[in-house]
């Protein structure tokens, strides 16, 4: 039988989680107080959202409260503490710099400040973290190039991947705009992870693979609507970072039991389980594993296989991966 205590003992990585959505309530209230910024809602309703569009606006609000290097290091350190509490051994975490208003034009400062928090965490025995830098779907090709140029020039050891996220229903089918940048990233050995098949249909997943050369798809569950695409994802072994709790919380799936994750798994697709935006969406990884297992009648072996996929699909170096497997 499966409970959270057992899940916590299973070696696993989390590979689809946004730091932007992982600033906890206490920290948000502390920062809002420090800067005299009114809460956007009463504290107990801070995390009530009416879908993805409003949720992304909340991320702008929350991340804009992180203004100094100490603020950012604190957010990073507290994140590592929560990852440890779910028994996570390694995390690929996403930040989307467009949400972090105080750091506009200073990506180097933000990455260094977060890095300091994670280095302290690692020294304290907390799990280590790789950083994926994300574009918003609405951004321009020039902005995408600028982010990649910075990544290549700085070659920061904390930064592991180029990412793209945001609301595809608002931005439209725009992957072609980013194709040159993502191809250049691939040619320079930079990993790519792409949000698709959440607020877009299977065509978004198709574009993520064909145009953005995605090493991993964030969400991707709407691939289920196109059987040939599911077969291709399974054949090519492209992992999907599935987040059932997030999909329910933001209204993309009706319930956990109605999530296509089981059908995808049965079709041979490699899947991991993740929280997406842990504190903001109320998702905790040990609970995600346990609740999803209960919804589909999975046994321990099924969760062990999923945890293994999470480690295999992480963008950590091979030494760390071998140590975790």
Residue 277 contacts ligand ADE per CB under 6 A: yes
Residue 276 binds ligand ADE (CB under 6 A) = yes
Range 18-37, binding ligand ADE (CB under 6 A): 18, 21
Q: Which stretch binds Zn ion (CB under 5 A): 23-31, 50-58, 218-226, 296-304?
A: 218-226
Looking at the Cβ atoms of 12 and 219, the one nearer to ligand ADE is 219
Identify what 286 binds: ligand ADE, Zn ion, none; CB under 5 to 8 Å per kind. Answer: none
Distance, in Å, from the CA atom of 93 to the CA atom of 133, rounded to the nearest integer, reads: 9
> What DSSP letter does each residue of 18-41 carry, written as one string?
EGGG---HHHHHHHHHHHTPPPSS
Cβ atoms of residues 252 and 199 within 8 Å: yes
Task: Name the DSSP letter for residue 256.
Answer: S
Q: By C-beta, is 27 or 277 nearer to ligand ADE?
A: 277
Nearest residue (CB) to ligand ADE, 52 versus 133: 52
The residues that bridge with 201 in the sheet, in sequence order, are none
Q: Is 12 in the site for ligand ADE (CB under 6 A)?
A: no
Cβ-closest residue to Zn ion? 276
- Work out what residue 198 binds among Zn ion, ligand ADE, none; the CB cut-off runs from 5 to 8 Å by kind: ligand ADE
Q: Is 2 or 75 the residue whose CB approaches ligand ADE more closely?
A: 75
Q: CB 74 → ligand ADE: shortest distance, Å?
A: 20
Kindly state the smallest distance separating residue 167's Cβ from ligand ADE, in Å: 6
Closer to Zn ion by CB, 14 or 276: give it. 276
DSSP string for residues in 96-108: -GGG-GGGTT-HH
Quick one: which of 279, 288, 282, 295 has its CA closest to 310? 288
- For 210-216, the CB contacts below 8 A with 24+ separation are 211/175, 211/176, 211/178, 211/179, 211/182, 212/164, 212/175, 212/178, 212/179, 212/182, 213/182, 213/183, 213/186, 214/238, 215/161, 215/191, 215/315, 216/15, 216/16, 216/191, 216/192, 216/240, 216/241, 216/313
In terms of Cα–Cα distance, which of 102, 181, 92, 89 is closest to 135?
Answer: 181
Residues 251-290 that bind Zn ion (CB under 5 A): 276
Q: Which is nearer to ligand ADE, 21 or 260 (CB)?
A: 21
Considering only residues 188-207, where is the footprint of ligand ADE by CB under 6 A? 195, 198
115 touches ligand ADE (CB under 6 A): no
List contacts with Zn ion (CB under 5 A): 218, 276
Q: Which residues form the interface with ligand ADE (CB under 6 A)?
A: 18, 21, 52, 165-166, 195, 198, 246, 276-277
């Amino acid at each position: 039988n499966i409970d959270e205590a057992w899940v916590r003992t299973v070696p696993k990585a989390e590979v689809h989680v946004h730091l932007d959505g992982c600033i906890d309530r206490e920290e948000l209230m502390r920062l809002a107080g420090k800067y005299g910024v009114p809460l956007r809602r009463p504290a107990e309703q801070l995390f009530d959202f009416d879908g993805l569009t409003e949720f992304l606006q909340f991320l702008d609000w929350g991340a804009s409260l992180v203004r100094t290097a100490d603020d950012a290091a604190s957010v990073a350190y507290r994140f590592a503490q929560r990852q440890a509490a779910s028994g996570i051994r390694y995390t690929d975490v996403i930040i989307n710099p467009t949400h972090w208003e105080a750091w506009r034009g200073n990506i180097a400062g933000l990455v260094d400040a977060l890095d300091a928090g994670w280095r302290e965490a690692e020294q304290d025995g907390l799990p280590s973290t790789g950083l994926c830098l994300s574009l918003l779907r609405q951004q321009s090709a020039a902005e995408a190039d600028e982010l990649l140029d910075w990544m290549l020039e700085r070659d920061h050891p904390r930064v592991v991947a180029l990412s793209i996220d945001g609301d595809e229903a608002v931005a439209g089918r725009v992957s072609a705009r980013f194709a040159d940048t993502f191809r250049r990233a691939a040619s320079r050995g930079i990993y790519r992870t792409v949000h698709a098949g959440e607020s877009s249909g299977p065509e978004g997943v198709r574009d993520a693979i064909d145009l953005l050369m995605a090493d991993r798809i964030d969400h991707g569950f709407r691939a289920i609507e196109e059987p040939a695409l599911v077969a291709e994802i399974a054949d090519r072994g492209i992992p999907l970072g599935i987040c059932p709790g997030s999909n329910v919380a933001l209204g993309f799936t009706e319930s956990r039991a109605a999530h296509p994750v089981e059908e995808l798994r049965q079709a041979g697709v490699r899947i991991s389980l993740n929280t997406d935006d842990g504190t903001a969406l109320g998702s905790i990884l040990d609970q995600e594993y346990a609740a999803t297992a209960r919804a589909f009648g999975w046994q321990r072996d099924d969760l062990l296989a999923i945890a293994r996929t999470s480690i295999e699909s992480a963008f950590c170096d091979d030494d760390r991966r071998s140590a975790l497997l």
